Structure 1
Amino acid sequence: MTMIPLIIAGVLGVALLVGYVTVLVGIRREDKALSLRRSPDGASATLARKVTGCYVRNGVSWT
Structure 2
Amino acid sequence: MNVLLSELKQPRGSRWQVQMDQHVVSFRSEAEARAFIATLEARLQAPHGLPQARQASPG
The TM tier, using the shorter chain, reads 0.3 to 0.5
TM value normalised by structure 1: 0.32
TM-score, L = length of structure 2: 0.34
The structure with the largest alpha-carbon Rg is 2
Greater relative contact order (CA < 8 Å, ≥ 6 in sequence): 1
Give the number of the structure whose residues are more often strand, by fraction: 2
Q: Report the structure, 1 or 2, having the larger helix content.
A: 1
